[in-house]
Amino acid sequence: MDDLLARVEAQIRTHDLIASDGAVTCLVSGGADSTCLWAALDALGYDVRAVHVNHHLRGTESDEDAGHCRDVLGAEIIDAPPATTEAEWRDLRYQLTEGHGLRATGHTASDQVETVLYRLVSSGNTKGIKARREDGIVRPLLALWREETEAYCVEHDLAFRRDSSNPSTTRGLIRDEILPLLRRVHKGVDANLLALAGERDRLPRALEASLVELLASRDGTKTADLGASIQAVREYHTIRLEGAVQWGPWTLESDLDGLEVRTRQPGDRLKGRRKKVQDLFVDAKVPRAERDTWPLVVHGDDVVSVPAVADAPGFEGAVRSRRDG
């Protein structure tokens, strides 16, 4: 198997993006990234379809893009209503294609780097592009760089379009001007920004400030209200959380110390069990779209409870859970 195809398949399997030999609809623009996506998934044996949303932003050029996607990629063409911002265009694409089942986009590691940099300077966080969105949109190419998708298209004689409006967008500014300057400061900027996308989110600033104040206090016993009915209690050299934890629609409680809540990670297994958490989800018929946001209760590196699904031996009933909605 081609190295690029192997990396795409590894991304799909690691993040459980598409069922083996399953069906997927590619959201194609006609550019190299989405063309590579469409061709690579087809080469890997998936049942691939394509759809193109025409925003009519560039007059004749937009219509030519749509015609290319229809004639070369066999794409269904959807005409979008007017919108004014990049975020609105993206949301429209996802809304207008909701009836097309599992949908894949051609976002790459290069897009990930640009997204992290934009969010870092605009809001102070480093959230990256998700491999799978809660609405079922998947990103199989996040392990590839933009240069690799174009090279794949050239190598396999796949015609693609170039968007003349890219330089005038915020993403174009980051791509063409800001990142090249940062690379002059440090050649590892792309890899370092990409690494930030994989880090856990920091605590909200107000919550972080409350905990810092709590830890800095010289009082023997001190409490801090963290909101959502949770209190942090520090007694000399120890700190514990009391109360229920809210996790999306879930409310989780336990009398045990040292428990944390997170989402699943590749290879997770319930402590003392051979079966992977992924297989537990399948057995419990948890919808695929909900698995990446389902809470896991862990003690250190061990998964001790998958609420409403299974508990690890010795932890039966240790976590009380309730799901609203």
Question: For residue 238, what pLDDT is reported?
Answer: 62
Question: For residue 199, what pLDDT is reported?
Answer: 62
Q: pTM for this one? A: 0.65
Residues of the chain whose pLDDT is less than 50?
none
Query: Residue 4 and residue 248: Cα distance in Å, rounded?
Result: 36
Show the DSSP H helices in the chain as ranges.
3-14, 32-43, 60-73, 86-96, 109-123, 146-155, 170-173, 179-185, 189-197, 205-216, 277-283
Q: 109, 179 in Cβ contact below 8 A?
A: no
Q: 278, 16 in Cβ contact below 8 A?
A: yes
Closest C-alpha among 319, 137, 322 to residue 248: 322
Question: For residue 301, what pLDDT is reported?
Answer: 86
Question: For residue 209, what pLDDT is reported?
Answer: 74
Classify residue 80 by its DSSP letter: P
In terms of residues, how long is the chain? 325
Question: For residue 126, what pLDDT is reported?
Answer: 87
Backbone dihedral angles phi then psi of residue 225, each to the nearest 5 degrees: -80, 120
Classify 213 as helix, strand or coil. Answer: helix
Question: For residue 325, what pLDDT is reported?
Answer: 64
Query: Residue 237 and residue 135: Cα distance in Å, rounded?
Result: 44
CA distances to 50, 191, 205 from 308, in Å: 37, 39, 32
Give me the sheet containing 238-243, strands edge to edge. Answer: 221-227, 230-235, 238-243
Question: For residue 218, what pLDDT is reported?
Answer: 65
- What the chain holds in terms of domains, given with CATH numbers, is 3-197 (3.40.50.620), 203-243 (no CATH), 244-325 (no CATH)
Query: Residue 240 and residue 257: Cα distance in Å, rounded?
Result: 7
